[in-house]
Amino acid sequence: MSRLLTLFSFLFIFCSGQSQIIFKNNHNAQIYVAMCRYVADGGYWMTTGWYTIGHGGDRLVFETISPRDTIGYWAMTTISEEKFEGTKNLIVNVDSKFTIKYADKPETAAKNPNYTWRKFILLRLPAGTIKGTINFR
């Protein structure tokens, strides 16, 4: 019984220490978002998308990340095709929803004619931060 209680306490502390990222759309247009994450345990980049966020809406996109995780996003509006981009070159599928493992590898890009490179904005939450919000304006 005490082992079970200890395990439960550890899991509660571990889970409650996880952080969240929310995207908030304050732009005057709908936004399409692709996300990325560096998976340290496997040593690879992964991208996933497309997530739609309507004007005035928000979306929880990274539910449990640790301060050690490197994450990021690439986004585009639906009206003016304004882009929110950074410097990290990773692959997305321009044709449909996707999850791409090894998204930084040219050999992965060659596997599908609908894969194309986008420049992601990378970020990390400051130490001790539990929730972060990214505002699109």
Its pTM stands at: 0.77
The domain tally of the chain equals 1
Residue 90 within any structural domain of the chain: yes
Q: Which pLDDT tens digit goes with each residue over 27-42?
A: 888 899 999 989 877 8
Alpha carbon dihedral 131, 48, 70, 17, in 10-degree steps, equals 40
Q: Say if residues 45 and 74 touch (Cβ distance below 8 Å).
A: no
| Strand positions, DSSP E, the chain | 19-25, 31-39, 44-53, 58-65, 71-77, 83-84, 88-93, 98-101, 115-123, 131-136
CATH number at residue 71: 2.60.40
Q: Is residue 4 part of a domain?
A: no
Instruction: Judge whether residue 6 has pLDDT over 60.
Output: no
- Return the top range by mean pLDDT from 13-17, 112-116, 133-137: 112-116
**How far is Cα 93 from Cα 114, in angstroms, rounded to an integer?**
5
Residue 85 lies in a domain: yes
Confidence of residue 12 (pLDDT cuts 50, 70, 90): very low
Mean pLDDT of 104-110: 96
Q: How confident is the model at residue 101 (pLDDT cuts 50, 70, 90)?
A: very high
pLDDT in tens, 30-89: 899 999 989 877 889 999 999 899 988 888 876 666 666 788 999 998 777 788 899 999
- Which residue range forms the structural domain that includes residue 32? 18-136
Q: Is residue 99 part of a domain?
A: yes
Q: What is the Cα gyration radius of the chain?
A: 17
Give the dihedral of Cα atoms 9, 7, 130, 100; nearest 10 deg: -160
Examine residue 6 and state whether it is found in any structural domain, yes or no.
no
